[in-house]
Amino acid sequence: MSVAILKIWRGSARDAGRFERYEVPFEEGQSVLDGLRWLRISKDPTLALRFSCINANACKECMIGLDGETVYACTARLEPREMTLTPLPNKKLIRDLVTEIAPPSERLA
Amino acid sequence: MDPIAIDTDVLVVGSGAAGLYAAIEAARAGAAVFIADRSLIGRGGATVMAQMTVAAALGEEVPDDPRAHFADTIAAGRGLCDEKLAQLLCEEAPDCIRELDGWGVGWARRNGHIAATTAPGHDRPRCVYVDFINTGPAVSKTLRKEIARKAAIRKAGDLCIVDLVVRDGEVAGAVGYHVGSGAPVTIAAKATVLATGGLTRMFRRNSASANMGGDGYALALRAGCTLIDMEFVQFFPIGHLAPRLVGMDPIMWDPFRYKLGGRLLNGSMEEFTSTYGSDEDGKYVLPRDLATYAIVKEVEAGRGSPHGGAYLSFQHCSAQSLRSAFGPVIDRLAANHIDLTTMPVEVAPIAHYHMGGVKADATMATELPGLFVAGEVVGGTNGANRLSGNAITEALVFGRRAGKSAAARVKQAARRQVRPQDAAAALDLVRADTSEKASNTAANTAAMIARLQSIMADDVGPFRTGIKLRRALAAIAELAGELGDRPPRRAAAFDLERLEWFDLRNMLTVARAVAAAAEQRTESRGAHQREDFPHSLPHWRLHQSVTMKSGELIIAHPPLEGEGRTAEGSSGWGASAAPLSPPPGPLTRADLPPPGGGDAKANV
């Protein structure tokens, strides 16, 4: 079975994070979000990520960094290689892959 | 951590079209509004995922009448629609569509008229749209823009509402927590509007977003409201199945069929719906319950497509006609290695919409003073089967009405605090306790949700039996035991395990309500099909209600709404009301199947 290796940035502060590596099963056609959701169900439910519509690319909530480029996790393809996933660099970090992406007027505080 | 305390006139929970419209209307009537959403404002939920059609009898291109829309809605509902709610939906739809037009939503136009298409189950072109796949996003964006212009409306995403606060039998606000920080939040409100959408996330294959786990039903049930028609979950017959297709909603073939027809074929590439009494003839006319039935039965007979569905083929369409109809979508398909001119795709039923919900009157008031509902969370409007195009419509119409009713209550209700004793139980749940040595639950909540989705898909799906449903109820109870009655104590920032614990608390309650009501209904009707009771029975032409007492669910049979025809001399559009002046166009009342058990269509 071929696998994708997800190297995921984990942590709650930019200067106190670490990368963790996970192997997830690779299936042709899957998205990076498919891999991340499999990972939470099968290996590590503590991973924080933001998504809502899952596959429609309508909610635009799943933006992350993939090998340094900003992508939607739901449309970026999973590939059978090492893929480096990071939180968006220009947004306030909340934890792991989650950043504050809502406009200030749509936040609690 | 002290709770963050918010005080408002109207609390709106949910920011799809129903919640946003409710907020706009309440603010217009002078109320201060606070919108809370478990996801981000205007991004999660069903509205933003809606692709094309919104039903409204505008009559711009061909003559139409809300009464004809009503007749189609009632016929689709298989004898169970709450006629007062259905009447409100059809009557006020044109007004809401025009108001959105004024706000610049950009309804598609032909020759200066708002263009309409004919969706399955409608007797004429009645469904307006912005674009073939972007109607929902346009509606959401337009309403968000209106919200932003009103200083009286505050809003916050990443805010999970955990329980309503009931004080002296009235809803006085809610308790929740901020997902980002874990901070507890109390919201005092004179009126609360639930606009939380549906429950289809409970099923393995669904068209839901992550915040559609039925939370509004559970909030209302725990607060003391009645739910009705919970057994009626609509499956969209032609959800995308294979090949794997990313970046598109699985409902995407709906607009393709509106524009190009397409052919539904079995594993041997033969047309098959006529076998089940429903000839499609290359047109998109089959109601959702009938199409779902035909596909599932064909698969059961060993004539399905390789992945267990049916083929949908557009191979008879030229590359040019596909390109001119769907432009950039054709490129997205190509990126997924799908060329419709040379290959069919596979489709299968997918959980799409919930007909059941919170019992409300035509002002959107629930039985609890201070609590209103809007959109998919409302029960009864669509009976046993929703007509295509009525979902965004009900979000708009009911949202606007709920906002108006909530604002009216604000004017007469005294401001009331959320007292500590009213909120104690909920605050105790949301308060993370880092000092306690009790560790987190060992349960993997993400895996538990996946297990629930399998239980619901396998045993509470479109085709049910008493044995399957009782097995599901036992499995749901087992999951509830594993979940326990305390969330994880730790609260990390954006802690999905904790969020999923609260989701599961709601989902398991609602799953139980759906399975229990389905087990009780020993007949088949619309979206509820019992293999052990395959016929629609006249004595089952009634709603089932679900209430909660000391954690137990109680199922009862209240009389059908709109049957007030007898005593009230109803001014409504129900069967005993004055005869319809015939709507322009081909439909007359006599063309409609009789409601209820005599309806041959309801037997399938």
User: Which residue from B244, B262, B240 is spatially nearest to B341, judged by alpha carbons?
Assistant: B262
Residue A106 belongs to some domain of the structure: no
Torsion on CA atoms A90, B212, B46, B43, rounded to nearest 10: -20
Contact A56 B155 (CB under 8 A): no
| Confidence (pLDDT) at B524 | 95
Using a CB–CB cutoff of 8 Å, tell me whether B442 touches chain A: no
Using a CB–CB cutoff of 8 Å, tell me whether B48 touches chain A: yes
Q: pLDDT band for position B576 (50/70/90)?
A: very low
User: Which residue from B466, B442, B588, B478 is spatially nearest to B533, judged by alpha carbons?
Assistant: B466
User: Which residue from B239, B350, B234 is spatially nearest to B288, judged by alpha carbons?
Assistant: B234
Residue B576 per-residue DSSP state: T
Q: pLDDT band for position B203 (50/70/90)?
A: very high
Which of A26, A47, A55 should we substitute to test contact with B (largest number of B Cβ atoms within 10 Å)? A55
| Confidence (pLDDT) at B570 | 44
Interchain CB contacts (distance < 8 Å): A and B: 130
| Confidence (pLDDT) at B578 | 33
Q: Which CATH number fits domain B4-51+129-233+353-422: 3.50.50.60, 1.20.1250.20, 3.30.110.30, 2.40.50.140?
A: 3.50.50.60
| Distance in angstroms (rounded) separating the CA atoms of residues B364 and B381 | 11
Residue A27 belongs to some domain of the structure: yes
Rg (CA), chain A: 14
Asked if residue B534 has a cis previous peptide bond (ω within 30° of 0), the answer is: no
Contact A108 B41 (CB under 8 A): no
Contact B48, B355 (CB under 8 A): no
**Top-level CATH class of B237-349?**
alpha beta
Residue A33 belongs to some domain of the structure: yes
**Chain A residues in contact with B336 (beta carbon < 8 A):** 29
User: If phi over 0 gives left and psi between -120 and 50 gives alpha, with beta otherwise, what is residue A96?
Assistant: left
Residue A107 belongs to some domain of the structure: no
CATH number, domain containing residue A79: 3.10.20.30
Gap from B488 CA to chain A (nearest CA, Å):
12
Give the residue with greater pLDDT, B2 vs B503.
Answer: B503
Phi, psi angles (nearest 5°) of residue A3: -130, 155
Contact A52 B185 (CB under 8 A): no
- List pLDDT tens digits, range B284-319: 777 778 888 899 999 999 999 999 999 999 998 999
**Top-level CATH class of B441-556?**
mainly alpha
Contact B22, B193 (CB under 8 A): yes
| Confidence (pLDDT) at B257 | 85
| Confidence (pLDDT) at B289 | 80
Average pLDDT over residues B565-586: 40
Cβ atoms < 10 Å from Cβ of B330: 17
- List pLDDT tens digits, range B101-127: 999 999 999 999 999 998 889 999 999
Q: pLDDT band for position B442 (50/70/90)?
A: low
Instruction: Enumerate the β-bridge partners of residue B35.
Output: B12, B155
Phi, psi angles (nearest 5°) of residue B107: -55, 140
Residue A109 belongs to some domain of the structure: no
Contact B497 A45 (CB under 8 A): yes
Gap from B76 CA to chain A (nearest CA, Å):
28
What total number of domains does chain A contain? 1
Residues of chain A under the 50 pLDDT cut: none
Is the ipTM higher than 0.90? The answer is yes
Contact A14, A65 (CB under 8 A): no
Q: Is the pLDDT of residue B584 over 50?
A: no
Q: Which of A52, A56, A105 is facing B211, going by the closest CB pair? A: A52
Q: pLDDT band for position B490 (50/70/90)?
A: confident
- List pLDDT tens digits, range B513-561: 999 999 999 999 999 999 999 999 999 999 999 999 999 999 998 766 5
Torsion on CA atoms B52, B54, B57, B58, rounded to nearest 10: -70
Tell me the H-state helices in B103-214. 135-148
Give the residue with greater pLDDT, B24 vs B591.
Answer: B24
| Distance in angstroms (rounded) separating the CA atoms of residues B526 and B540 | 12
Q: Which of A40, A61, A77 is facing B40, going by the closest CB pair? A: A61
Gap from A74 CA to chain B (nearest CA, Å):
6
Phi, psi angles (nearest 5°) of residue B363: -100, 5
Average pLDDT over residues B442-453: 92
| Confidence (pLDDT) at B565 | 40
> What does pLDDT average to over chain B?
89
Contact B12, B104 (CB under 8 A): no
Contact B248 A57 (CB under 8 A): yes
User: Which residue from A41, A49, A57 is spatially nearest to A88, judged by alpha carbons?
Assistant: A49
Domain span(s) for CATH 1.20.58.100 in chain B: 441-556
Q: Is the pLDDT of residue B176 over 90?
A: yes
Residue located via tokens 């004024």: B102
Residues contacting B546, CB < 8 A, separation 6+: B221, B226, B227, B228, B230, B513, B516, B517, B553, B554, B555
Domain extent, residue A38, equals 3-100
Write the burial class of residue A23 (CB in 10 Å: 0-12 exposed, 13-18 middle, 19+ buried). Answer: middle
The Cα angle at residue B193 between residues B136 and B483, in degrees rounded to 5: 90
Q: pLDDT band for position B433 (50/70/90)?
A: low
**Chain B residues in contact with A96 (beta carbon < 8 A):** 494
Q: Is the pLDDT of residue B587 over 50?
A: no
Q: Is the pLDDT of residue B59 over 80?
A: yes
Contact B247 A75 (CB under 8 A): yes
Average pLDDT over residues B445-452: 96
| Confidence (pLDDT) at B277 | 65
Residue A108 belongs to some domain of the structure: no
| Confidence (pLDDT) at B240 | 95
Average pLDDT over residues B417-434: 86
In single-letter form, the type of residue at position B424 comes to A
| Distance in angstroms (rounded) separating the CA atoms of residues A13 and B389 | 46
| Confidence (pLDDT) at B135 | 92
Cβ atoms < 10 Å from Cβ of B280: 21
* Chain A residues near any Cβ of chain B (below 8 Å): 12, 27-31, 34, 37, 40-42, 45-61, 72, 74-75, 77, 94-96, 98, 100-102, 105-109
Q: pLDDT band for position B575 (50/70/90)?
A: very low
Residue located via tokens 């809003």: B155
In single-letter form, the type of residue at position B361 comes to D
User: Which residue from A101, A100, A95, A102 is spatially nearest to A8, judged by alpha carbons?
Assistant: A95
Average pLDDT over residues B393-417: 94
Which of B206, B246, B440, B444 should we substitute to test contact with A (largest number of A Cβ atoms within 10 Å)? B246
| Confidence (pLDDT) at B134 | 86
- List pLDDT tens digits, range B238-281: 999 999 999 888 988 988 888 888 899 999 999 998 877 666 66
User: Which residue from B114, B185, B63 is spatially nearest to B587, judged by alpha carbons?
Assistant: B63
Q: Is the pLDDT of residue B592 over 90?
A: no
Contact B494 A98 (CB under 8 A): yes
Q: Is the pLDDT of residue B184 over 50?
A: yes
